[in-house]
Amino acid sequence: MTTVRGARARARIEITAAIKDEARTQLAAEGAAKLSLRAVARELGMVSSALYRYFPSRDDLLTALIVDAYDSVGAAAEQAAAAAEQERPLDRWTAVCRAVRAWAVAHPHEYALIYGSPVPGYTAPQDTIVPASRVGLVLIDIARRAHTGEGVALPPLPDDLRPEAVRISADIAPDLPPALAVALVAAWSQLFGLVSFEVFGQFHRVVEDRDTFFATAARRLGQDVGLLPRG
């Protein structure tokens, strides 16, 4: 009986993976707004009722794809941070940013799913929050370790921004100074702005040496956070 259950579990894993792979193919061809369970089932040679046993609705399938995408780019960031463990904070920061960009360029349709236009009629559930936080948490950890280690050059904090900075710090990193927390949020948003401009074609006929451009811009974001350049 255990062998039968194990075979069924493996089959379910394989079919779930096939469904998501076909859904990603549809994302590339049609975009998330046109994702259709019936079309996925048809391409896989399944009846719709069988597919619904795996994903009861289009939104359930979208959520699974979104979680996978966030986990994938998050894993890329974490692996880059681990590989640069012995580097100075600013170099680790830049390595992580470059890994995020490399993932996005290699997976443009999945990137568009999580950082592009919202899908009409879809509201992301709580399940997506933790995966969506992974890149940000890597960047926060780099700043935290710099703050408690060699130190950071805290950016100035205008008086009128202080209440919001205190709130942000309490939410994302209570152990960090508000000035550092708010700088991290700004840098995080600018990082994905840079990536989005490249993935969505905004740099066409503007930036040619994109590797060098991005590395320089990412490093400056780290310096804006207060990470110290090599002395």
What is the torsion angle, in degrees rounded to the nearest 10, for the CA atoms of residue 94, residue 100, residue 106 and residue 109? -150
Q: Which CATH class is domain 65-225?
A: mainly alpha
Q: Six-digit token pair at 188?
A: 């995080």
pLDDT at 90: 97
- Ranges of residues in the chain with a pLDDT under 50 are 4
1-56: CATH topology = Arc Repressor Mutant, subunit A (1.10.10)
Q: Six-digit token pair at 36?
A: 């259709």
The predicted model scores a pTM of 0.92
SS3 128: helix
pLDDT at 62: 95
Domain ranges of the chain: 1-56, 65-225
pLDDT at 226: 95
Give pLDDT tens digits for 82-128: 999 999 999 999 999 999 999 999 999 999 999 998 899 999 999 99
How far apart are the C-alpha atoms of 160 and 95, rounded to whole Å? 33
How far apart are the C-alpha atoms of 222 and 94, rounded to whole Å? 7
pLDDT at 201: 95
Contact present, 58 and 39 (Cβ < 8 Å): no
The 10 Å Cβ neighbour count of residue 64 is 17
